[in-house]
Structure 1
Amino acid sequence: MIDSKIMETTKSILKEFGNTYFSDKDTLKRNKVIEDLDAYTPMLMKALLANQLIHDTYTESIVIDDKSVEIFKLNEFIEMFTYKEYWQDSYTKFENKIGLTAGGKFIDETADVVLDFPFKDTVLKAGMTKEDQKDADEPFLHETIAKAEIDQLLEPKIFVNATKYDKENLEGVSTDKFDDENLIIKGNNLIALHSLKERYTGRVKLIYLDVPYFFKKTIAEDAFKYNSNFHFSAWLTFLKNRLEIAKELLSEKGSIWINISEDGMHYLKVLADSIFTSDKFVGTIPRKTRNGKSDVPYNLSQDFDWILVYTAGLENDEIMGREVKRQYLETEDFPNRPWRKADLTSQRTVQERPNSNYTMVNPKTGKGYPVNPKRSWAVAKDTFQEWYENGGIGFPDDYAFMSGDRPFRRIFKDEDNAKNKSSAVYSDFLLKLSNGKTINKLGNDQIDNLFDRDDFDYAKPEELLSEIMKVTTTEHDMVLDFFMGSATTQAVAMKMNRRFIGIEQMDYIKTVSVERLKKVIAGEQGGISKDVNWQGGGSFVYAELMEKNQGYLKDIQHAETTKQLEDVVNRMIAGGADFDFRVDVEKVMQDPEYQAMSLADKKQLMIKVIDKNQLYYAYSDMEDRDVQELMSESDIAFNKSFYGERDL
Structure 2
Amino acid sequence: MAIKEETLHSNIETVNSKQLAVLKKHFPQCFDKSGNFIQEKMLEVVNANEVELSKESYTLNWLGKSYARLLTNLPPKTLINEDIAHNQLEQNKNSKNLLIKGDNLEVLKHMVNAYSEKVKMIYIDPPYNTGSDGFVYNDDRKFTKEQLVDLAGIDLDEATRILDFTDKGSSSHSAWLTFIYPRLYIARELLADNGVIFISIDDHEVSQLKLVCDEVFGEQNFSGNIVRATGQTTGQDSGGLGSSFDYILVYTKLQNVDLSGLPLTEHDLKRFQNKDTKGNYAFDQMRKTGSNDRREDRPNMYYAVIDPDGNELYPIAPAGYESCWRFGKPTYEQLVKDDMVLWKKTKRDGGEIWWPYIKYYLEGRTKRPSPLWTDLDGNKKAARDLRALFDGEKLFSFPKPIPVIKNLIHITPQSSQDDIILDFFAGSGSTAHAVLEANANDNGNRQFITVQIPEKLDNSSEDYVNIFDLTKARITKAAEKIREEHPDFHGDLGFKVFETVEDFRVEDDDKELSLMTMTMFDDVMLTDEQYHTLLTTWRLYDGSELTTPVQDIDLDNYIAHLCDNRLYMIASDFSSDALKALLSRLDTDKEFSPNKIVFFSKNFDSVKQMELNEALKSYANKKSLEIDLVGRN
**Which category describes the TM-score, using the shorter chain as reference length?**
0.5 to 0.7
Alignment of 1:158 with 2:79, yes or no, is yes
How large is the Cα RMSD of the aligned pairs?
A: 5.1
User: 1:381 & 1:161 partners in 2: Cα distance?
Assistant: 61
2:239 partner SS: helix
Work out which of the residue numbers 176, 191, 203 in structure 2 matches 1:262: 203
The structural deviation recorded for 1:355 is 4.5
Paired residues of 1:164 and 1:541 also in contact (CA < 8 A): no
Asked if structure 2 preserves the Cα contact closer than 8 Å seen for 1:446 and 1:461, the reply is no
Of the three residues 104, 124, 146, the one matched with 1:189 is 104
In the alignment, is the contact (CA less than 8 A) between 2:95 and 2:494 conserved in 1? no
Cα distance between partner residues in 1 of 2:509 and 2:322? 82
The answer on whether the counterparts of 1:349 and 1:375 sit within 8 Å (CA) in structure 2 is: yes
The 5-angstrom pairing of residues 285-434 of structure 1 reads: 285-292=226-233, 295-298=236-239, 300-312=241-253, 314-315=255-256, 317-322=258-263, 340-345=282-287, 349-357=294-302, 362=307, 364=309, 369-370=315-316, 375-378=323-326, 393-397=341-345, 407-411=355-359, 423-427=366-370, 430-433=373-376
Residue 544 (structure 1) aligns with: 499
Question: In 2, Cα distance between the equivalents of 1:304 and 1:368?
Answer: 49
Alpha-carbon separation, structure 1, partners of 2:32 and 2:244: 54
Choose from 21, 28, 40 the match for 1:63.
40
Q: Assess if the C-alpha contact under 8 Å between 2:453 and 2:468 holds in 1.
A: no
Letter in 2 for 1:456: F
What is the SS of the residue equivalent to 2:205?
A: helix
Query: What does the per-residue CA deviation read over 1:253-278, in whole Å, with 9 as the maximum and x for residues that have no partner?
Result: 32111000111112211221222223
Instruction: Please give the secondary structure, in 1, of the residue aligned with 2:112.
Output: helix
Q: What SS does structure 1 have at the residue aligned with 2:373?
A: helix
Deviation at 1:61, TM superposition (A): 2.2
Aligned twin of 2:552: none
Deviations along 1:241-294, one digit per CA (max 9) or x if unpaired, are: 111111121223321110001111122112212222233222211222243368
Q: In the alignment, which residue of structure 2 is the partner of 1:577?
A: 510
- Aligned residue in 2 for 1:456: 396
Aligned residues: 440
The one-letter amino acid of 1:60's match is F
The 2-side partners of 1:382 and 1:252 are apart by 33
Shift of 1:500: 0.8
Equivalent residue, structure 2, for 1:488: 430
How many angstroms apart in 2 are the aligned matches of 1:387 and 1:532? 38
Pairing 1:634–2:549 present: no
C-alpha distance in 1, partners of 2:385/2:375? 18
1:460 Cα deviation (Å)?
1.8
The one-letter code of the counterpart of 1:200 is: Y
Find the partner of 2:448 among 483, 500, 521: 500
TM-score for the superposition, normalised by structure 2: 0.56
2:228–2:372 Cα contact (<8 Å) kept: no
TM-score normalised according to structure 1 size: 0.55
Counterpart amino acid of 1:351?
E
* Cα distance in 1 between the residues matched to 2:235 and 2:378: 21
CA distance in 1, matches of 2:489, 2:334: 49
User: What is residue 585 of structure 2 aligned with on the other side?
Assistant: none
Any idea what SS the aligned residue of 1:456 has?
Answer: coil
| Partner AA of 2:502 in structure 1 | E
Q: Is the 8 A contact 1:165 1:539 kept in 2?
A: no
Map residues 112-261 of structure 1 onto 2, 5 A cutoff. Answer: 119-123=64-68, 147=70, 153-154=74-75, 158-163=79-84, 165=86, 168=89, 181-215=96-130, 217-218=131-132, 222-223=133-134, 230-261=171-202
- Which residue pairs with 2:474 in the alignment? 516
Unaligned runs of 5+ in 2: 1-8, 15-30, 46-60, 139-168, 440-445, 456-465, 517-521, 545-562, 567-597, 599-631
Change (3 A) 1:440 1:473: farther
Separation in 2 of the partners of 1:213 and 1:499? 27
Task: Describe the SS at the equivalent of 1:515.
Answer: helix
2:239 counterpart letter in structure 1: Y
SS in structure 1 at match of 2:117: coil
When residues 395 and 164 of structure 1 are mapped into structure 2, their CA distance, relative to the original with a 3 A threshold, is: same
Task: Letter of the 1:466 partner, please give it.
Answer: K
Distance 1:392 1:635, change over 3 A: closer
SS in 1 for 2:197: strand
Structure 1: distance between partners of 2:317 and 2:392: 66
- In the alignment, which residue of structure 2 is the partner of 1:20? none
Which amino acid in structure 1 is aligned with residue 324 of structure 2?
A: S
Q: Which residues of structure 1 form unaligned runs of 5+? A: 10-53, 69-115, 124-144, 552-571, 579-610, 619-623
Percentage of identical aligned residues = 22
User: Cα–Cα, structure 1 residues 550 and 457, in superposed 2: closer, same or farther, change >3 Å?
Assistant: farther
Give 3-state SS (helix, strand or coil) of 1:518's partner: helix
Contact 1:359 1:368 in 2 (8 A): yes
Does the 8 A contact of 1:201 with 1:248 survive in 2? yes
Which residue number corresponds to residue 602 of structure 1? none
Deviations 1:42-67 (A, max 9, x none): xxxxxxxxxxxx99997322218988
Over 3 Å counting, the alpha-carbon distance change for 1:60 and 1:298 in structure 2 is: same
* Contact 1:290–1:440 (Cα < 8 Å) also in 2: yes
Q: Would the alpha carbon gap of residues 633 and 358 (structure 1) be closer, same or farther in structure 2, given more than 3 Å must change? A: closer
Task: Provide Cα deviations, 1:269-322, integer angstroms capped at 9, x if missing partner.
Answer: 122122222332222112222433685233523111111111235536344443
More strand by share: 2
Deviation at 1:439, TM superposition (A): 1.9
What SS is found at the alignment partner of 1:288?
Answer: strand
Q: 1:299 to 1:63 in 2, by over 3 A?
A: closer
Q: Is the 8 A contact 2:193 2:254 kept in 1?
A: yes
2:84 is paired with a residue of what secondary structure?
strand
Q: Which residue of 2 aligns with 1:135?
A: none
2:155 aligned partner: none
